[in-house]
Structure 1
């Protein structure tokens, strides 16, 4: 029995900094006297002593794993703001509000897996999260401390991952909500992708693939010469998009606008452009190249570099006024 209790006492001592003799007595009482399974006894003592420990303002929510003693510094000393999270980070701690957690089933190499996913936010950013273990209490809290999370790319943006090693706690303080603020392109290109950002820049040029395109009716991939690389030759669905180079003097990225946003910024509907398809590209180019725009959306990082997938686009208010004055002058 000593061989069973000693390793657990050592582990708890490293994680909690509690006197080893005290831990051994408590473990012996639970395991020997009350016949509690060793793993359950370990979790019980971990929860007991974490709740009593004045670590920041956190209250234990669920202990999924132990942390090393050197990792038990006050929360404020080792929290990573969400805007500074990078793909590949591991063993980091974040404090964030939990937004819209949901159970969902995903397909992995091991088959279908049930996970909990949603968004985390602090005052600096908003990121997707995936919990690979069942943590039902996450549905009942507003703000969490998540220790020992790791970060993987999720749709080209950093995503927080919670697994069996992660320790989750309910945070009793207040974390400010994320409020989108304008950011320079130079700032954005130094990230690993970002959710719900806003930036302003000039459209320098259009990239190949802009204008009228055809999409596969099955998978929505862009078709080339009537061929979908996944489904072969078939009749495509007509669509419209812009792939533009956006620059603000501090950096440049590719910005993609879907059909509604292309029609909005160009001022011409797809049906009208399709009436003279040979002129569509030039009509779009003449309408937007050289003009400043404000774009909001998700910034993704992948094999083709940084791409801003626009959720909305507008011309700056002062630019719109100047353009109106110019047009009025031409009409007089």
Structure 2
């Protein structure tokens, strides 16, 4: 046996630990950094010795963001802690993002400093290398594309009018905005998914689904042209019946074919001038309200006919149709069949609970990864910002003096007294207003349902058949 006179190659090297900002860290360097832990989560994997904990997350300082991973559960890697990490190895992921690898020799100490020094306020000039999860402000200087073609089989985007997987079954159009974003430091090309694209374009997401995804073959147009003179009657009175349309002065407007509400006082009558855009606009609003008040209930922005279970958890196909009334010689009513897949937040929470998940585990998942939701009844889009661990019957709406359970029940929605937790949602379509919802009225949308499946096509045909016979 030869004596162990030579040290390992790693020990022979003169290893230097470089103190750097995250932005300046290079692949292969051992570094010492000071940063804020934006997010950290722990998972367990298995190797030849059994279970092994893995802590991963995101670091941030005032220069950049980077991922990190550690297999040492004793390191103080806690969300929102400001730490000094010494001896981390920098690597590049296949995506180009930086990641700091922490091993058993890495030292981590918590610093008693405020978070404000470790926030990356990104400008476009800073984005000269890949980075994830940042906020950039700017103006849209140029738009390149608005829609793209996607394969009907694999849902992948067409390139050169060809599916990358070679499928020949055709394509459908999807909304995807590609644009140039600029600020005073530079410009960068951006791609927005369909929901963000619709918001940037000022187009309701329901309209996007109806016009792009279901196609014209599932739409029906009715042209309404009165043969005789058309009159609107105006009444005043205190009624809570949503069957009647009210103008901006609070007056009830009744069509010739309608009976006025009981105990309402007649105010005046108006003959519609078909050459007046203002009169036609009022007529369109009254007719749309008249039609909608006699249709099936509205669900997430469209009129719901029925729902069909997809055999996946509690995800259902909701079939129905959208309706739009426009001024067009003189009125045009367009109905478009639509089928969408949703799972309520309540069903998702119950699914996780049956699997043994704790409240904190469910809360972390919802706030960090599943926070974009659709809200009943109009299908507004929002972001969940917090969970309130009380039941629907315990939470009192101060302005109305009733519980949130009573509030939704009076509006005709099925809400359980004991369902919880309630969620506070920042509603984007209401300018960022934060409102509290019961979980049964908050929904996740699923886009991975095959449009060629039997259930999907049958549901679409059924909704189209109903809507075209209005």
Could you state the TM-score of these two structures normalised by the residue count of structure 1? 0.48
Relative to its length, the structure with more helix (as a share) is: 1
Higher relative CO (CA 8 A, sep ≥ 6), structure 1 or 2? 1
Could you state the TM-score of these two structures normalised by the residue count of structure 2? 0.35
